[in-house]
Amino acid sequence: MKDLPAQGAIILAGGCGKRFGSDKRRWRLADGRTVLETTLARYRGLFEPLVVVLRPEDQDWSEGLAGCQRVFAAEAAKGMGHSLAAGMVAIDHAQAVFIGLGDMPWVKRRTLQALRQALCGPNVIMRPTYRAAPGHPVGFGRNYFAQLRGLTGDVGAKALLSRHGAQAQSVPVDDPGVIQDIDRPQDIDTHLAGR
């Protein structure tokens, strides 16, 4: 990884997760780690900086999250766009940034490595696809940083993907983890049943 330009990652974990019934970020999986800890472990060591975006009230419990920089988005309750813009403040020297979701703990490290290798150039947008379904994380070259910092609302970076579709590249991967998020407790059971 030393020969690649610096690539950062932002993990968005500032949502409320109302459909789950409790704080899914702190839900313990079978190995004892939480959903968010598991997600961060996939990215740790591959991206610099690794930023996790949280709500201001998450400061106490999140102190134990190792190997990442915590950003507390004051306007996280207003939507994913606000959280993403807050996370971008911590991305300065990187040549590209990947946007991942805190409730997607099953993306394989080899997938993240392949995505890192594939994202080249400041004007590139890239996202993985699994059986033609678009997934996460989505990568953005440096030319999009200003637009990412200006995001608001609840649609995250979807507007950029729509506006710059000509620059967007799909990278087919053999990894269902890129489309598997956790919305409800039964999503964990479904994942385990499909392994």
Q: In sequence order, what are the residues at sequence separation of 6 or more whose Cβ sits closer than 8 angstroms to the Cβ of residue 15?
A: 76, 80, 83, 102, 103
Mean pLDDT of 69-96: 92
pLDDT score at 1 = 44
Pick the CATH number of 7-194 from 3.40.50.300, 3.40.250.10, 3.40.50.410, 3.90.550.10: 3.90.550.10
Distance CA(60)–CA(112), nearest Å, equals 29
Q: What is the pLDDT of residue 126?
A: 94
Tokens, residue 125? 């947008």
DSSP structure string for 14-65: ----GGGSS-GGG-B-TTS-BHHHHHHHHHTTTSSSEEEEE-GGGTTGGGG-
Short-list 91, 159, 105, 98, CA closest to 124: 98
For residues 33-48, average pLDDT: 96
Q: Tell me, rounded to whole angstroms, the distance of Cα 53 from its chain centroid.
A: 10
Question: pTM of the prediction?
Answer: 0.92
Instruction: Please state which of the ranges 8-22, 111-125, 127-141 shows the lowest mean pLDDT.
Output: 8-22
| pLDDT band with cut points at 50, 70 and 90 for residue 5 | low
Query: Residue 9 in contact with residue 137, Cβ under 8 Å?
Result: yes
pLDDT of residue 86: 95
Domain range annotation of the chain: 7-194
Interhelix angle 35-43/109-118, rounded to 10 degrees, is 40
Q: Which two tokens stand for residue 97?
A: 């940034």
